[in-house]
Amino acid sequence: MRIDTVLFDFDGTVMDTNRVIINSWQHTFRTLTGAERPVADIVATFGEILHDTAARFFPHVPVEESVEIYRSYHRNNFGPMISVFPGVRELLAALKERAYTLAIVTSRLPATTMEGLEKYGLTAYFDLVVTCEDCTRFKPDPEPVRIALAKLGKKPEEALMVGDTRNDILCARDAGVKSVLVGWTAAVPEGERTGPDAPDYCIEKAGDLLDILAPASETGPMRLR
């Protein structure tokens, strides 16, 4: 069946939010413990639900308290600390030229998701944005992808999911969607990109996604090679 839909994760895939996420956690650690944590400890949590990570990092602090410390810093510093990954804008434009349906599927709150898309003029590329407020279960559960497909009127075999964490890959797999792991991921080390939970494809640059797909026509959607 022809692939005509691409679902993108937001953090670490379309938008480089690594710095604001790391800094938000370090601010929370300084506030609650008086000391920062190794960056590797924070990167290892990329893709997790914020409340789950906060509960594990600060088991003796009410979750809503630690989450609000994190979110307060995050909200106040989000815009200046984010950027679009190289080549992503050009990839989105190329896919839209080929009549693809594009969506964001993220565990992030809608306010900052839309702030990032609007800041860099990416909103018009996406036909749908699914955030944590649209779901009752979150990645790696397949619900977010299934919600996106249902809203778009698409079948799993018509879609690809592009992400930067193992949760993205597992979410796609369990929803019956092919998965693509980006090479600029900070969350999945090179040695962990194989095995039973491996993505269907890996790309090193944004434009490499086009090389995974063979054109069905000059202007229409593409078929998987």
Q: How far apart are CA 54 and CA 62, in angstroms?
A: 9
Residues 102 and 175 in one domain: yes
Q: Between these two residues, 219 and 160, which has the higher pLDDT value? A: 160
pLDDT in tens, 75-106: 999 999 999 999 999 999 999 999 999 999 99
Residues 34 and 90 in one domain: no
Whole-prediction pTM value?
A: 0.92
Catalytic residue (one of 9, 16, 164, 168)? 9
Residues 119 and 209 in one domain: yes
Residues 48 and 114 in one domain: no
Q: Which of 44-48, 68-72, 87-91, 185-189 is predicted with the least confidence, judged by mean pLDDT?
A: 185-189
Residues 91 and 76 in one domain: no
Asked if the model's pLDDT at residue 116 lies above 70, the reply is: yes
- Residue numbers of the domain that contains 195: 5-16+82-224
Residues 89 and 26 in one domain: no
**pLDDT score recorded for residue 194:** 76
* CB distance 133 to 107 below 8 Å: no
Q: How far apart are CA 173 and CA 25, in angstroms?
A: 30
Active site residue 211: no
Cα distances from 61 to residues 48, 54, 65, 73, in angstroms, run: 19, 9, 7, 18
Give the chain's domain count.
2
pLDDT in tens, 136-185: 999 999 999 999 999 999 999 999 999 999 999 999 999 999 999 999 99
* CB distance 66 to 54 below 8 Å: yes
Residues 29 and 103 in one domain: no
Residues 143 and 173 in one domain: yes
Residues 175 and 64 in one domain: no
